[in-house]
Amino acid sequence: MRLFLLGMISAAACLSARADEGSEAARRLLFETFDKPETRLLVDAIVVEGDVAIADWRQGELGGRAFLTRKGDAWSIALCAGDALKDSATLEKLGVSRANAEALSKRLAAVETRLSRDVVERFSRFDGMAAVEADGSHSPLDPHHKPIP
């Protein structure tokens, strides 16, 4: 039994380390893609569950959430949105398992309670959903989206 518990603690520590490494790699990708000297990017929170992550970001007067996916050690930014990425049902539609979608949604809500209301409200300003191309440009996913200037 003692060996089993040690194994479980080791596995949990490895998963935690992978999530921490994942959040830092995802953060680097966001900065490499969107940070500009004239408009600095702020990443306020990143939650990782398995091979997906959600990042809260602000840039100038804009803000939103980014949905990222990981294949191996490589992260990619799949799309940007506002409040839709807080919803586990939306995450499931993006291919996230129900368990991971619910975990991401809960963890994001918990992290956002530690941020100021003004900052969290800025994440809601991103209108609609937009796919993110490798160069950081956005393509609307729905007809109501207004592209970022």
Specify the residue for token string 């930014």: 77
Q: Do 108 and 47 contact (CB within 8 A), yes or no? A: yes
Q: Do 137 and 76 contact (CB within 8 A), yes or no? A: no
Upper half-sphere CA count for residue 29 (Cβ side, 13 Å): 26
Q: Do 90 and 84 contact (CB within 8 A), yes or no? A: yes
Q: What type of residue is 41?
A: L
CB atoms < 10 A from the CB of 127, how many?
16
Q: Residue ranges of the domains in the chain?
A: 2-140
C-alpha dihedral, 55 to 106 to 104 to 92, nearest 10°: -120
pLDDT tens over the chain, length 149 residues: 444 333 433 333 333 334 456 689 999 999 999 999 999 999 999 999 999 999 999 999 899 999 999 998 899 999 999 999 999 999 999 999 999 999 999 999 999 999 999 999 999 999 889 988 765 555 555 544 443 33
Upper half-sphere CA count for residue 19 (Cβ side, 13 Å): 16
Residue 102 burial by Cβ neighbours in a 10 Å radius (0-12, 13-18, 19+): middle
